[in-house]
Structure 1
Amino acid sequence: MSKRQQAGFLPDGRRLHLQDGPIDLILQADGTAGAIKAAYDAACERFTTLLDELCAELPLLRAQLAPGSTLPAGTVARRMVEAARPYADKHFITPMVAVAGAGAEAILKAMTGAADLARAYVNNGGDIALHLGPGTRFEIGMVDRPDQPRLFGKLALGPADGVGGIATSGRHGRSFSLGIADAVTVLAADAPMADAAATMIANAVDLPNHPGILRVPADSLQPDSDLGPRLVTRSVAALRKAEIDRALARGERFARELLQQNLIVAAALHLSGATRLVHAAPGLMTTIKQAKDIETHAAS
C-alpha cells in the first residue's frame, strides 16, 4: 500500500481496518487461517486501486443518469450505474447513489475470489456487503437514527434470506437527503442495490411544502455535490402523528413498489419514533417482531 492508504487490525485481532481518503472500511473473514490470510491480502491489494479508479471517472459518476448516458469504464463504476438505472426513468439520480455499496462489494469480491470463506463482510461506513456460506449467520443491531442510536431490533440473517447487501440512509447520515426520514435501512440482494434503494426510499419519506421543514440547495453546503441546486433537508420541526404517518406512508408505498420489482428484500423506515416495515422474508421475523412492538409503543 502507498503512504496514503492505511491498513491495520482492530484490537480484537480479527477485523481489518482499511482507510484511504474518504473510504473507511471494516472487514472480516471467517474460515481457515490460510483462507483468512489470503482473503485479507486480496482485500488490501484491491483496495490500493479503488479510490483512484473512482476518481478517474468522478465527473461522469456525478452526472445525472439518463437513457443514453455514457457508460463508465471501471468495474466498480459500472456496478454503480447498474444499481442506479432502475430509478433513472422517473427520478433524478446519479451513480454516486451506490458508491459506498459498490466499493464494499468490490473488496468483498476480491476476498471471496481469493479464498473459500465460511463468512465475510465489508462495512463501508454502514453500508455492508455480505457473504454467507452454508450454516452461517450474520447479526446486526438496527438503530432508528444514526446520530442518536437507539436499538429497535436485532437482525439475524442466514444464507436462505437472499441478502448480500445492507444499507442505511436518511437525513442524519453521511450524505444529503431530499426527504425527512431519520433512517431507512434496506436489505437487498447485493450492496449496490441496497445502497441505491435506501437513498431513494429515504427521499420518498417526505412532506412536500411543509412549512416546518428547512431545505437548502445542496451545492450551497457542498459545492461539488452531485445533487447540484436541488433542495436537501437540514431540519424538521416537531411533527404531529398524522404528519408522521403521511410521510412514512409515502415511503412505504415506494418501498413496496421496489419489493415487487425485486429491487429489495426488506426495508425499515423510521421517522420521529415511528417505524414502518416492508418485507416478504420469513427469516426476518425476529427483527419484525421487535420493531412492531416499538412502533405500537410510539403510536400509543
Structure 2
Amino acid sequence: MTRFPQIALLSDGRRLHLQDGPIDLVVEARGRTDDVRAAYEAAARRFTGLLDELCAELPELRTAAWKRTSLKGVVARRMHAAVASYASDCFITPMAAVAGSVAEEILGAMLDVTSLDQAYVNNGGDIALHLGNGEHFSVGLMDRPDRNGVMRTMRVDADDPVRGIATSGRHGRSFSLGIADAVTVLAPTASRADAAATVIANAVDLPGHPAIIRAPATELQPDSDLGERLVTRGVGELSQSEIAAALECGAECARQLFDRGLIEGAVLQLCGDMLVIGPKDIEERRSRPLVLENAVA
C-alpha cells in the first residue's frame, strides 16, 4: 500500500503541518503572501518522499559514525557531518542529528525558491531558523521536553550566529545515556545543534548511582541505534551536591564544544537546577523580558 504524507495548514491558517511516520513538522513563514505560498509548496514537495530516502540508508545511519561514509542522500550525509566531530570521542550515530537535519532540509527548500522575512521549521522541538535583517525570534525553553508549557524564553536576533536550536534529555523522543531533564543547544545550524544536544545530555550523568534506573536500549526498542548500551529510564532522589556534580559534567562538555566553535550556547536542566554555558550575554538574554509572539515550546 502506498503511503502518503499528511500535509495541511493548521487551524490558524498561518502554519503548515507536515507529518509522515515519525517525522512531524510545524512550519511557519513570514513575508509577502505569494512568497509564503511558494515556500510552503516547496516544503511540501521536498517533504514528500524524504522519509523513504532516509529509510533506504537506515542500516548505516544506525551504525557508529566514522570519518568516511558511503551515505548518498543529502539529508543522510548532513546527519553524518553533524556527528562526525564527536566520532573519535564517544559512541554516536548519524541518528543523533536526524530531527535537526530534516528541519534544515525543509527550510533550505523553502529558501531556495523565494525570499522570506522570517521562517522556522520545528521538528519536535528541534528548530531550523531563518531571520531576515532586523528580525528576531523568541524560543520557549521548557524544564522537560515531555511537558507542555514554556518555562522561560530566549531571544535570537538576526545578527546572532544562531540558526539552529535543539533539545535533548531523558524525557525526549529518543533514549539518553545521561540523566538531564533537558539540554537546549544553540548552534549555527539545526543539525549541529541536534548532535551537540545529544552529546551534552549524555554527559549530564552520575555513573553507577543506585538511584538511577537503566536498561539496555534494545530491550525497549529492538532496532535502537544504541544497541545494548544502558539508557536512563528513571532517576530517584538526588542530593543537591549530586545534582550539581551531574550538571557540571555536562557543563564541562558544553564548554569544550563552545571553545571548539561547535555551539553558540547551551542551557542544562536537572531536577529544577539550571546551568547556562556560552557568551556572557546568553545569561543576560535569559533573564531579559522577551516578546512571546514567536515562542515555540
Q: What residue is the counterpart of 1:198 in the other structure?
A: 197
Structure 2 distance, partners of 1:131, 1:52, is: 26
How far apart, in 2, do the equivalents of 1:269 and 1:281 lie? Answer: 16
| Most deviating of 142-151 and 204-213 | 142-151
Q: Matched residues, percent identical?
A: 56
What is the match of residue 101 of structure 2?
102
Bigger proportion of residues as helix = 1
Q: Structure 1 residues 249, 66: CA separation in 2 closer, same or farther (over 3 Å shift)?
A: same
Alignment partner, residue 181 of structure 2: 182
- Give distance in 1, aligned partners of 2:67 and 2:17: 38
Tell me, yes or no, if the aligned pair for 1:277 and 1:288 is still in contact at 8 Å. no
Report the CA distance between 1:6 and its aligned residue: 0.8
Deviation by residue 1:92-126 (Cα, 9 ceiling, x = unmatched): 00000000000000000000111101111000011
Q: CA deviation at 1:155?
A: 1.1
- Does the alignment pair 1:217 with 2:216? yes
- Distance apart, 1:161 and its partner CA: 1.3
Deviation at 1:150, TM superposition (A): 5.6
1:237 aligns with 236
For the pair 1:46 / 2:41, whether they are aligned, the reply is no
TM-score, scaled to structure 1: 0.93
CA separation of 1:288 and 1:265: change in aligned 2, threshold 3 A: farther
Q: After the TM superposition, list the runs of 4 or more consecutive aligned residues in structure 1 that deviate by more than 3 angstroms.
A: 148-152
SS state at 2:48 partner? helix
Pairs aligned (count): 288
Whole-Å separation in 2 of the counterparts to 1:89 and 1:59:
20
Name the counterpart of 2:294. Answer: none
Name 1:36's counterpart in structure 2: 36
RMSD, aligned α-carbons: 1.4
Q: Give structure 1 stretches of 5+ with no counterpart.
A: 291-300
**Structure 2 CA distance for partners of 1:31 and 1:283, relative to 1, 3 Å:** farther
Q: Contact 1:147–1:173 (CA<8 Å) still a contact in 2?
A: yes
1:262 aligns with 2:261: yes
Q: Distance in 2 between matches of 1:21 and 1:107?
A: 16
CA separation in 2, counterparts of 1:199 and 1:126?
Answer: 13
Show the counterpart of 1:155. Answer: 154
Query: Residue by residue, what CA displacement relative to the aligned partner does 1:223-266 show, whole Å, maximum 9, x if unpaired?
Result: 00000000000001110000000000000000000000111111
Look up the equivalent residue of 1:146 and give its one-letter code. Answer: P
Summarize deviations over 1:3-56 as a string: whole Å, max 9, x none.
521111111100000111111100011110111011001000000021011011
On the 8 A contact 2:276/2:282 being kept in 1, the answer is no
After TM superposition, list the pairs within 5 Å mapping 1:3-18 onto structure 2.
Answer: 4-18=4-18
Instruction: Show the counterpart of 1:91.
Output: 90
Cα deviation, residue 160, structure 1: 1.2
Counterpart position of 2:58? 58
